[in-house]
Structure 1
């Protein structure tokens, strides 16, 4: 049954931040890739390719990545921070977060645009190296790097290892001695500043697994100073993810620069350049800059963030009479998040009555052929997204809807609240915006659902950059099935 979104009972179940659009087919600027638009027939177009064509070629679900959007955001972010640092006589680096989404193609895109890459596992390190990322441009994160991972990082000459515990320092002491290789490290510290974000995403408060408290970091650096082949390059601090504004970075900078100044005074910086010369001290302030998942989100422009954060660090350095260190930043999802759009096919639609009498309302459920196995973020921490019809324009008035997946879980929500045209029907394509970060990276095979392909689009052409799985890929891991059944149709078929 169709529901009139203007009905009082229906709008009562909409959250305050969600406003009813005058046109449920519009594409909110900043939420969708810059290339996204509609053709005359109403179909969504991404980088010159209509969504129906992508669905016919690669199947659904499919994660579509706009290469131009990734490259533009990477280059723009680097330029913003370099310009901001240059105004204070300094230099800056930007690291792409491999954990947001990593493939060999994406690693090549971002390094070609001048970014470094941070990794946090042997798998991410291996992909980055296979993509041709120079080891010196890689940073290695993690609170529990295993010995074989540290050995590999030192062996290949990773630029910096971000140490997270006393045990890790001792592991590096033994590894560097055994391999007779020098290794530059950063010490990760908790500034005590709480990011204004979900508690799972805030990473600089005291009661969490990452890094050293500021006081403990001094002893950690003292221990590193005693080691002949482990060189202290600087400090690292990351206050969280999906952060809007610079206030948290300003407060964090004041605390971390104080520690940086103390370590300068104690002459603890021992890192060397590849040429064997003393390296300039490095201060990595993390990042985790937010993006717009809905039209209610208002992330700060990257140039504004860069100017605000770098100015704050420069002010703190000036107060203490020290030079601006080399600055490093990890923007996170802001490089790739908006570049991703996931296409689904609508399966079933139904309305569910809520309440009784005058308080009675109805919620419309729109089910699609994916869900929490290809995007776990809504189930993990209530992440909100935007959705639009992708195969055509709707003609009916907007209806408050909940887009859900096909998994056997009541929490399998794709988009919790969205206004969709009242004539959405089975077989329609639905597009969910801003799925480039932490969707494919978190994907699973829950309910034995194969993971979908990742398809890059640029200048009217599309190509698979991560192959979709088939049922036989899942069965091949089951040691009780031999031989595997005959091949089934792949999730991704070819090129458009």
Structure 2
């Protein structure tokens, strides 16, 4: 399949997406896709946190999530410093374990949780409950009772049923529940429909347009023992353009001003969400935290001036933007198969020892990822491949289209960057797979944060 004009001009060649370009050097990394310490040696070994991943694999096997601790901390500080005077909430749902929750607290960030389990991890890590926000569209009375008793900094209410529940909890316990109203701003974020959360037809929040958000604020303001802190918006995830925040801020602040004028309640806070995007492939171009901060604060200040109101205390939620680029997943190649398609085109399938059980996002969201040969240098030309998993599922795809060396072979290591967010968190035991470990690397040393599951873990809940 060679041609003087390049591989794509050869008879029967497959052509990947328009944005994917054949690399000049198939061994090179694209820096923006990886954690800051990631690089390759002359021999082609991928090094993260000062540790060759081949050495890590020799001790811990594959698949494995590799978390660059210094990179994680530096991204957390970058958002904290860029948004000075604004509370920055780390998204526990992106990835959370005890060590990471501790890092979040040590770097001066707040923490969002959305389940009893995430709350328990935060408490185990010693996170101050006053610096925790509790999300969720269907919180039980037991969850609310626990959150209020612990003194969680804010509960983001999501329904009229929940308002009744939290008012009851406050009355029963004689404590004050601090709440924010989750608002649907009617913004169509440019992202996958499953992670766009501010349009009208979805399960989260109270609609501004329908009047539900104002009514929610009215009911909360009238409820004894419930303190209304402000409005909360989240337009979606993997967002690159701040235009959506401009529309959301205008609508939120108009509601904020109306609540002050008609209910006589001055709301001290406002959360504009975030869900900032990261680079999974060369088509992604995320903004730096400093630029995001400059643009978002300017939007809020402009709208406040137009309404003649004081700017409320702001909080934001970067989402995947902190942990996403800090982690990669390392696999071992098991088989390489060339499949002839219609018109003589050939697809090269590279099967690895993980798959949709450790990264469901490609199958669930049609997400794009990148990959690189991680344990050696190759002098072979690049070929277009599809990296797939080992599960009994045709949709078990890890990387839909990627250039890898033509001599890719069983036993090679392949690493996929940008797997810090929603990969380990959404991992499963599909086909009774054992979930991989999370291994932190720093200064040439590895430390297991979450151990690899064993068959004993599978049998622990199987009562026979």
Cα distance in structure 2, aligned partners of 1:160 and 1:268 = 21
Return the offset for 1:2. 10
Q: How does 1:310-349 map to 2 (within 5 A)?
A: 310-349=297-336
What do residues 322-345 of structure 1 show as CA deviations (whole Å, max 9, x unaligned)? 111100000000000000110000
Aligned to 1:288: 275
Partner of 2:90: 96
How far apart are the structure 2 equivalents of 1:290 and 1:208? 21
Q: Decide which of 126, 133, 155 is 1:161's aligned counterpart.
A: 155
CA distance in 2, matches of 1:239, 1:135: 26
Alignment of 1:112-127 (within 5 A): 112-127=106-121
- How far apart are the structure 2 equivalents of 1:352 and 1:379? 21
Q: What is the aligned partner in structure 1 of residue 32 from structure 2?
A: 30
CA distance in 2 between counterparts of 1:196 and 1:10 reads 35
Conserved? CA contact 1:80–1:303, under 8 Å = yes
For 1:422 and 1:2, locate their aligned partners in 2 and report how far apart those are by CA, in whole Å: 12
Structure 2 stretches lacking a partner, 5+ long:
none
CA distance in 2, matches of 1:72, 1:159: 25
Aligned to 2:428: 444
- Correspondence for 2:181: 187
TM-score, normalised to structure 2, is 0.97
Q: Does 1:309 align with 2:296?
A: yes
Provide closer, same or farther for how the CA distance between residues 110 and 168 of structure 1 changes in structure 2, counting only shifts above 3 A: same
For residues 83-141 of structure 1, give each alpha carbon's deviation from its aligned partner in whole angstroms, at most 9, with x where no partner exists: xxxxxxxx310000000000011111111111000000000001001101100000000
8 A contact 1:203–1:238 mirrored in 2? yes
TM-score by length of 1: 0.91
Is the Cα–Cα contact under 8 Å of residues 396 and 421 in structure 1 kept in the other structure? yes
Q: How does 1:458-469 map to 2 (within 5 A)?
A: 458-469=442-453
Cα distance in 1 for residues equivalent to 2:196 and 2:12? 35
Task: Decide whether the 8 Å contact of 2:271 with 2:315 is kept in 1.
Answer: yes
Separation in 1, partners of 2:106, 2:265 = 30
Which structure 2 residues correspond to residues 212-361 of structure 1 after superposition, within 5 A?
A: 212-214=206-208, 215-267=211-263, 269=265, 281-356=268-343, 360-361=344-345
Q: Is the 8 A contact 1:176 1:229 kept in 2?
A: yes
Give 1:57 deviation, angstroms.
1.1
Distance in 1 separating the partners of 2:145 and 2:305:
39
Distance in 1 between the 2:12 and 2:137 partners? 46
**Aligned partner of 1:453 among 420, 426, 437:** 437
C-alpha deviations, 1:121-176, integer Å up to 9, x for none? 00000100110110000000000011111111011000000000000000001111
Cα distance in 2 for residues equivalent to 1:68 and 1:268: 47
Alignment partners' CA distance in 1, 2:338 and 2:2: 8
Once residues 11 and 71 of structure 1 are traced to their aligned partners in structure 2, the CA distance between those partners, rounded to angstroms, is 43
CA distance in 1, matches of 2:243, 2:278: 17
* Deviation of 1:55 (Å): 0.5
The runs of at least 4 aligned residues of structure 1 exceeding 6 Å deviation read 1-4
Checking the alignment, whether the CA contact within 8 Å between 1:98 and 1:119 is kept in structure 2 is yes
Which residue of structure 2 aligns with residue 196 of structure 1? 190
Shift of 1:8: 3.1
1:393 CA displacement:
1.6
- Shift in Å, 1:5: 3.4
The answer to whether residue 21 in structure 2 is matched with residue 16 in structure 1 is no
Give the deviation of 1:40 after TM superposition: 2.7
- Map of 1:58-137 to 2, 5 A cutoff? 58-82=60-84, 91-137=85-131
Is the Cα contact below 8 Å between 1:5 and 1:397 reproduced in 2?
A: no
> How many aligned residue pairs are there?
460
Deviation at 1:264, TM superposition (A): 2.1
Contact 1:162 1:187 in 2 (8 A): yes
Q: Is the 8 A contact 2:349 2:387 kept in 1?
A: yes
In the alignment, is the contact (CA less than 8 A) between 2:132 and 2:152 conserved in 1? yes
Match of 1:401 among 359, 380, 385: 385
Aligned to 1:142: 136
For structure 1, which runs of at least 5 residues remain unmatched after alignment? Answer: 83-90, 271-279, 481-496
How far off is 1:304 after superposition? Answer: 1.3
How far is 1:11 from its partner? 4.9
**Partner Cα distance (2:284, 2:13) in 1:** 20
1:267 positional shift: 5.0
| CA RMSD of superposed structures (Å) | 1.5
